[in-house]
Structure formats: C-alpha cells, structure tokens
Structure 1
Amino acid sequence: MSSAQRSVWQIQRDVIYALLVREMKTRFGKWRLGYAWVLIEPSLHVLVLVAVFSLAGREFYPGVPTALFMLGGIAPFLFFSNCFNRGLAAVESNRGLFNYRQLRPFDAVLSRVCLEFVISLATLTVLMVIFAWFGISTNFNNFLLLVIVNVLFFCFCLGLSLALCVVGVKFPELAKLSPIIIRPLYFLSGVFFSLEQIPKEYHFYLVWNPLLHVIELTREGLFVNYQGMFGSLAYLGLSSVTMLAFGLLCYRANWRDLVTSR
C-alpha cells in the first residue's frame, strides 16, 4: 500500500514503529547481548540498589520484603528519570530525520517515552518473577489500580518530555541542571521510604510531589500488606492531565522552531 493510500493513523503507527526500532538499535545494538540489554541494563541497576539495602538487614515495611519494597520504588523512578533525560535530547538526537515530511519532534518524544515505559514494565515484571523464584514474594493486591496508575504516569511523563524537548532546544545549557533536579527527587519521592514513616509535619511539603503518589500507589497495587494511605489517585490524575496539557501546549507553540533550529 502506497503512502498516498494509507490513513494518517497508519502512517503515524509506521513512523513510531520505525523510531522505536531505531532507538533500540542505537541504544542496545552495539552490545554483544543485543536487545537482551533492554532488560539487563535497568535490571542490574535495580538489583544493585536492592542488594545494598537488603544487606542493611532492616525491614523497610512490615509484611513486604525489602527487595520488593525497593523494587516498587526504583522501577517507577527510573522510568521518570530516563524520560526526563531523553526528553531533553529527543530533538537533537533525531534532527536529521525531520527532513522527512511525515516525521515530527512529537514522534521522536512519543517513541522514547513508549520505549522507556515498556522497559520499565518489563523490568518490574521480570524481577518480580525472579524474586518469586528465589522465594521472595508477597500477596498481589490490585491489578486495576496498577493499570490506572501506569496510564496516568505515562501521560505525566509524556507531557513532561514534550515540555523538556522544547527546553532542550531553546535553552540547551539548562540540560546541565538535570542531575541537580533528579538527585534530590531520588530521595524525596518515596523510593526508600513510605510516607507514613515520615513525621506528619513534613507531609505537607512532600505530598506536592506527584512522583511520591506514583510510588505509593504502585506499592499499594502490588502488595496486599502495603497500606498506601497517603497516595492520592485524584491528585495523580490532576497532575498527569495538567502536565500533559502543558507539554502539548509547549510543543504546539514551538514545534516549527524545533524543526528549523540549528
């Protein structure tokens, strides 16, 4: 079927698929293990952190093994962190492709977020299975909650990445501030703690962070013994819709500049 006969959605699907394949080859094709590195890279990251905190010999949350508790926080945060960094570089990394009429910066951002989303879910699933194989498991809680949280989180990260792709082109020097933003969030988003373990006088400041709600709700969906009493699905939904709208508006106002800037 020629491009003239294909629908807009078919063209969009083929563009995203081609960008996904290109992204995977660029990132993982140079490794001897090939596409297996898609799972190995983030899994090693998670396993090292889980091992460090497991060897500390303390139980982070009653009824939830330390390895699973850490995994429920690290996996979502890695998805956010990778979307943040790759959103900043999405336009410059694919600039040569924008000479093709069918391809726009939006497609480059969407393909990167989709790839990170799939990697995040696959890593979480594979490591849960591996831990269960070694006897580290707990009762599963709420699959529907997990689906809703992940859909909202995807929308949040897509909106953020769209806004950041504009920032990465118009203010490239700000990309150097990325570690300054990511590192504090690593310790303020509940990766290593549950909000109910933090003194109540600090809750007012911490609950403004949407990432904390993602991690709290993810653990609540994964583990039946996790209370998750401070995770708000309504706040996460509002944050995700707002961020997606903001990202789309930023992109809409600047997309022609993204294509022509040098």
Structure 2
Amino acid sequence: MNSISRTPWQIQRDVMHALLVREMKTRFGKWRLGYAWVLLEPAMHMLVLVAVFSFLGREFYPGIPTALFMLGGIAPFLFFGQCFTKSLAAVASNRGLFSYRQLRPFDAVVTRVLLEFCIYLFSLVALLGILAWFGVAATFNDFLLLVAVNILFLGFCLGLSLALCVFGERFPEAAKFGPMIQRPLYFMSGVFFSLEHIPEEYHPYLSWNPLLHVIELTREGLFASYHGMFADMQYLVMSSVGMLAFGLLVYRANWRDLVRSQ
C-alpha cells in the first residue's frame, strides 16, 4: 500500500498537470488554427498598429523599429488581458471539478495564470526571433531586468486573478464590465506610446498604473537604446507584492464559499 501512496506535492503536481492539459484543450482546441493563435494574436495586433502609425509616417523611438516597439507593449498587455478576463469565470467554468477533494479554485486560477504567462513569454521570444530573422532587430539590453520585471508581473497578475475569481463568482455581472475596464487601460498603459513622449504634467495621472511601469521596464530590458527614465521599479515591486497579498487574503477569506456555491 505504501508503494502507491503519494505525497501532497505529487498530488498537487498531478492536479496542476491535469488542469493544464484541460486548459490548453479549452484554449486552443475550438480554433481551426489551434496553437498558431499563440503567435497570430500578438502578431495581428502588432501589424495593425505598425500599419496605422507607418501610414501616419511616425517613428516612435530612435534605434528601435516600430514593430519591436509595439511588440514590447502588446505582449505584456495581452497576458494581463487574458488573466483579467479568464479569472472572472475561473470558478464557474471549473465548478464541476471542485467536487474532487484534491482540487480547489486556487488550483484553477494558478493554472490559468501560469499557462497564459508561458504563452506570453513564448510569443514574445518567438516573434522577436522571427522579426530578427527578417532583419527587424535592435540591440538587446538587460536580461536580469527582464527576469525581475516578469517575476513581479506574474505575481501582480496572480494576485489580481485570485481577487477577480472571487468577485466574478459573487458578482456575475462583473464579467460584463471587464471589457469596459480593459479598453481604457489599453490606451493608458503605454502599449503604443512611450512615457517620454507625454508631457510631464500628465505623468502623475498615468504613473499610478502598474501596467505602464511593466511595459516601460520591459522595453528598457529588451532594447539598449530605450531609456525608461520615468519607470519606477520600486513602485512595481510595491504594486506586485501588494496585489498578490490582497488576492491571497481575498481568496483565503472566501474559498470555502466558492466551493460550496456549486
């Protein structure tokens, strides 16, 4: 009997693996192009913005091709947007699984966030490589900065997702407000502009947004010629730790109700 017993870590690993496979089938199985959407979605966003601003005859940053500049903003924002949208429905879409004692809403949320994080990193690296193959490249800057920013970004999105999974279950109407919140954030988060190009009197209104600091610091890590002088790493650390703590506390206070609500 002892030979087939499993440790709690092994059980958790198997649960996460099963959820990950299920999420991948759900995420890509219904689309005709399947896993190609990992690259097609950010590529289409990038190409549309490049076409628009090329038509206007604008070059955003010296030494950085417009496609790379846009990609440095689009990829992080799409990761945030997917976490935001999917976490609101995380409990409802996995409700039938919570009858299993080993599985909790926390597992479903963490699996979704980790899957989207892996998709984000893969799409960013793959598209940078594809663009470089076509001769669209810029001098790389700081790998350790990229690692630090993305770890903090992952913590921020995980905390936000845990809080939103509770709000989405308690207030089902919240899902309808998701797009209404994301649309203005798309225009306020530096996806297609640099904070350097915005008059300084507007910086206090924009700098409260952690996404703006993520994108500015991501571009600084990616491109040697980019200087995110207005990005604040300390603010990003505080925002990420604070959001993760908030999400864990909200989930901890409500997880039993989430399970019983089925």
Please classify the TM superposition score into its range, dividing by the shorter chain length. Answer: over 0.9
User: Closer, same or farther in 2 for the Cα pair 1:54/1:3, shift >3 Å?
Assistant: farther
Report what 1:144 is aligned to.
144
Report what 1:20 is aligned to.
20
CA distance in 1, matches of 2:146, 2:8: 32
User: Closer, same or farther in 2 for the Cα pair 1:32/1:177, shift >3 Å?
Assistant: closer
Moved more, 154-163 or 4-13: 4-13
CA distance in 1, matches of 2:122, 2:55: 25
1:164 positional shift: 0.2
CA distance in 1, matches of 2:164, 2:3: 31
1:4 positional shift: 6.7
CA distance in 2, matches of 1:3, 1:152: 40
For residues 171-182 of structure 1, the aligned pairs below 5 Å read 171-182=171-182
SS in 2 for 1:63: coil
SS in 1 for 2:225: coil
**So what's the TM-score if we normalise by structure 1?**
0.95
Report what 1:245 is aligned to.
245
Report Cα offsets for 1:42-76 as digits up to 9, x if no partner: 43333333343344331011111111000001110
Report what 1:120 is aligned to.
120
Moved more, 234-243 or 8-17: 8-17
Report Cα offsets for 1:61-112 as digits up to 9, x if no partner: 1111111000001110000011000010111010111011110000000000
User: Closer, same or farther in 2 for the Cα pair 1:186/1:10, shift >3 Å?
Assistant: same
Report what 2:134 is aligned to.
134
CA distance in 2, matches of 1:251, 1:50: 40
Q: Aligned pair count?
A: 262
User: Closer, same or farther in 2 for the Cα pair 1:259/1:54, shift >3 Å?
Assistant: farther
Report what 2:170 is aligned to.
170
1:11 positional shift: 1.3
Report what 1:212 is aligned to.
212
* Conservation of the 8 A alpha-carbon contact between 2:39 and 2:127: no
Report what 2:82 is aligned to.
82
**Alignment pair present for 1:30 and 2:30:** yes
CA distance in 1, matches of 2:12, 2:88: 22
Report Cα offsets for 1:142-163 as digits up to 9, x if no partner: 0000000000000000000000
User: Closer, same or farther in 2 for the Cα pair 1:207/1:150, shift >3 Å?
Assistant: same
* Conservation of the 8 A alpha-carbon contact between 1:23 and 1:112: yes
Report Cα offsets for 1:164-200 as digits up to 9, x if no partner: 0001100011211111110000000111111111111
Report what 1:185 is aligned to.
185
1:34 positional shift: 3.4
CA distance in 1, matches of 2:91, 2:3: 25
Spell out structure 1 runs of 4+ moving beyond 4 A.
1-4
**So what's the TM-score if we normalise by structure 2?**
0.95
Uncovered stretches (5+) of structure 2, i.e. residues with no partner: none
1:227 positional shift: 0.7
1:3 positional shift: 10
* Conservation of the 8 A alpha-carbon contact between 2:70 and 2:192: yes
Report what 2:198 is aligned to.
198
For residues 56-95 of structure 1, the aligned pairs below 5 Å read 56-95=56-95
CA distance in 1, matches of 2:12, 2:38: 24
CA distance in 2, matches of 1:200, 1:125: 32
CA distance in 1, matches of 2:168, 2:3: 32
Q: Percent identity?
A: 74
Report what 1:110 is aligned to.
110
Uncovered stretches (5+) of structure 1, i.e. residues with no partner: none
Moved more, 154-163 or 36-45: 36-45
CA distance in 2, matches of 1:224, 1:85: 33
User: Closer, same or farther in 2 for the Cα pair 1:18/1:52, shift >3 Å?
Assistant: farther
* Conservation of the 8 A alpha-carbon contact between 2:46 and 2:67: no
User: Closer, same or farther in 2 for the Cα pair 1:234/1:65, shift >3 Å?
Assistant: same
